[in-house]
Structure 1
Amino acid sequence: MNKTSNSVYLKCKDHTVSSEQFDLLHDLELDILITSPQPKIEDLGRYYESEDYISHTDAKRNVFEKLYHVVKGVALKRKLKLINSFNTSEKTLLDVGCGTGDFLQTAKSNAWKVYGIEPDSNARNLAITKVGNSVFDSAKINELPQNSFDVITLWHVLEHLPNLNMHIANYKRLLKKDGVLIVAVPNFKSFDATYYKSVWAAFDVPRHLWHFSQTGISKLFAKHDFKVVKTLPMIFDAFYVSLLSEKYKTGKMNFIKALKVGLQSNLKAKQSKEYSSLIYIIKNE
């Protein structure tokens, strides 16, 4: 990805931790947005140091967090149904960026052999209490044997990873030849993204280093001889992201307005297929 000749698509603010300003540069060749400047790898951790970073905690302190966990419960059932739909030989699963381990726990209770990668030590320790010692720090992924996994999942993780091509090449190495890679990411071509613009919560700079379109995902993975074989919507994300975006825009969570924008986004996506977030089913070519 060429970072020198890209135009500024938007300017965004970190609403969670630092209040710093960042540019989103548009790579026209790939149709991907790039957060600029990107924090150095050794500095990334400090941008996650917030009690509001909900995927690293099991807290249910307020209505928003309780609602998040209700929706997460529904999403876990759908994720399980999805991975169970594949004809796998040994049901081996690697969840990259597994957070507190709820998806791993759900899969393990349904006879999957589960492994997780989670860089945040607090979240990783919670995951270990749920599924055992098959959850590792990021460095461990390089030690896992090749062609080990029937399914590798990244649920809203790819956008957080520096050195994208290195990571994708590693998933290529770890996946069985007939295995499935599942990648879920926000879609900056969705209606809610264009509606909220710089305060769209799913830009989440600088934790999100990259911002994807459907074209961008297809081109990026094609470079590694992967092919997107199916795309699925994440319906709830439009409402969740709109609710956070309202908070960033107005200073308060306007549930009614967020519901209206989220509903409008999903209705428009029925025609355009540009849902707020998308799940990509990716296989070896």
Structure 2
Amino acid sequence: MTDNPEWRPCPCAQPADESPVAWRPRLVFAARDYVTGDAFTVVECPQCGLVRTQPRLSAAALAKYYPKSYHGAAGARRFPSVVEWLQNCLYAGRAARVERAAGGRPGHVLDVGCGRGHLLRAFQRRGWQVAGTEIDRHTAELVRAETGADVRPGLLEAFAGADGGFDAVVLWHVLEHLHDPAQVLRDCARLLRPDGTLFVGVPDVRSWEARIGGNKWFHLDVPRHVTHFSRPVLRDLLGRAGFAVLAESSVAPEYDLFSFVQTMLNRLGLRHNILYNALRSGAARLFPMDATDWLQVLVSVLLAMPLSALFLPWMLATVILRCGATVAIIATKTSRLPGGGQTG
């Protein structure tokens, strides 16, 4: 099931003491995959603060936790039309934000883990030359056929040899799915031109919502989320990879309201992520639902109304105090890595 059943040193830490005691992780809590019910633990590195899902699964073992329904069926929507329309509006704003940070004009962008290509399309509409990667080969081929973009199966290795070839690289809610974020960020720096722009977004494991949710937090999503970031840890990783942070945000409209409501429903004892699963279009559902589940959906909808009313003051507080459930950072590639190494 795992590539090593023992706890492993954190790939991001740099302990002075290489003994096992120096990197032995601290247990945060036990958690279960809400789709399969399989048990995992969530641990924190004492050296760098990165939080990880254990045991660490091999790529082959992890693949079974991404069913074909994960990205939705070919030509079908994952969510109702109004939800996908709203998402596309937000993607358009996100592409515009990256463009402003990249100098205010279209360039060449790489969307790592592009999924169904919604953000790629937003960049295309702004005149960008777009490329993407997607682990799932079928999804990569589908997006390439639909958009005409250079979308390749895999991750950054799919563009080996394209050093300095991109004006912007996007890692939108992708980094948490990867075992070695430090190496991924270094690879992004290699692919970017000098002063290129990186846009990265991840759930914030130190947010108020995560602290209240614990192992019921909507964004925890073990084992698909193999690493879990806080704002300071992400900033540190970016700095060590050769990036300077330009801007930060703890607001992600397509996630914030729903993740708050679903987390609270989970804490109230309803089936984990039941409303999220119900909102996915039939073929895209992650687990089958029976009459009891649909009764819980009805209860969830009724509870969602008062919970949504509570969200406005909650959102204002988290924005002011910068402790929202997600963190998004725009960073620029610097000319040299810490310690004097070249980034590209």
User: Among 54, 60, 75, which residue is 1:36 paired with?
Assistant: 54
Measure the CA separation in 2 of the matches of 1:261 and 1:118.
37
Instruction: Tell me the amino acid that sits aligned with residue 32 of structure 2.
Output: K
What is the aligned counterpart of 1:170 among 176, 181, 187?
187
Letter in 2 for 1:15: Y
Contact 2:172-2:201 within 8 A present in 1 as well:
yes
Mapping of residues 11-30 of structure 1, within 5 Å: 11-16=30-35, 18-30=36-48
Letter in 1 for 2:95: L
Mapped contact 1:191–1:265 kept (Cα < 8 A): no
**Following TM superposition, by how much is the alpha carbon of 1:192 offset from its aligned partner in structure 2, in angstroms?**
1.6
Does 142-151 or 125-134 show the bigger shift?
Answer: 125-134
Listed as ranges, the matches of 1:153-168 within 5 Å are 153-168=170-185
User: 1: distance between equivalents of 2:257 and 2:49?
Assistant: 25
Q: Deviation at 1:260?
A: 4.4
**TM superposition score normalised by structure 2:** 0.74
CA deviation map 1:51-87 (0-9, x unaligned)? 3x357876447xx644541331221121122122131
Tell me whether 256-265 or 208-217 shows the greater mean CA deviation: 256-265
Alignment equivalent of 2:221, drawn from 201, 204, 209: 204
1:108 correspondence with 2:124: yes
Tell which deviates more after alignment, 118-127 or 256-265.
Answer: 256-265
- Equivalent position of 1:97 in the other structure: 113
Equivalent residue letter for 2:323: E
CA contact (8 A) 1:192 1:238 kept: no
Verify the 8 A CA contact 2:24 2:46 in the aligned structure 1.
no
Cα offset for 1:41? 1.7
Instruction: Give the 3-state SS of the residue equivalent to 2:219 in structure 1.
Output: helix
Could you tell me whether the CA contact under 8 Å between 1:124 and 1:135 is conserved in 2?
yes
Instruction: Work out the CA distance in 2 between the residues paired with 1:6 and 1:125.
Output: 39
Please, which of 148, 154, 160 is the counterpart of residue 132 of structure 1? 148
Q: 2:200 aligns with which of 183, 186, 193?
A: 183
Q: What letter corresponds to residue 127 of structure 1 in structure 2?
A: V
| Structure exhibiting the larger radius of gyration computed from Cα positions | 2
1:270 matched to 2:319? The reply is yes
Q: Which region of structure 1 is more displaced relative to structure 2, 26-35 or 93-102? A: 26-35
The equivalent residue for 2:305 is: 256
| Paired amino acid for 1:73 | N
How many angstroms does 1:203 deviate by? 0.7
Q: How many residue pairs get matched? A: 281
More strand as a share of residues: 1
The offset of 1:239, in angstroms, is 1.6
Q: Which amino acid aligns with 1:165?
A: A
Q: Does 1:151 align with 2:168?
A: yes
Per the alignment, residue 88 of structure 2 pairs with 73
Give how far 1:245 is off: 2.9
Q: 1:89 to 1:65 in 2, by over 3 A?
A: closer
The answer as to 2:240 corresponding to 1:220 is no
C-alpha RMSD over aligned residues: 2.4
Distance 1:269 1:55 in 2: 32
TM-score normalized by the length of structure 1: 0.89
| Cα distance in 2 for residues equivalent to 1:188 and 1:67 | 29
Give ranges in structure 2 of 5+ residues lacking alignment: 1-9, 14-19, 276-299, 335-344
Deviation, structure 1 residue 277: 1.1
Q: Distance in 1 between matches of 2:226 and 2:261?
A: 22
Unaligned ranges ≥5, structure 1: none
Please say which of residues 126-135 and 199-208 is displaced more in the overlay: 126-135
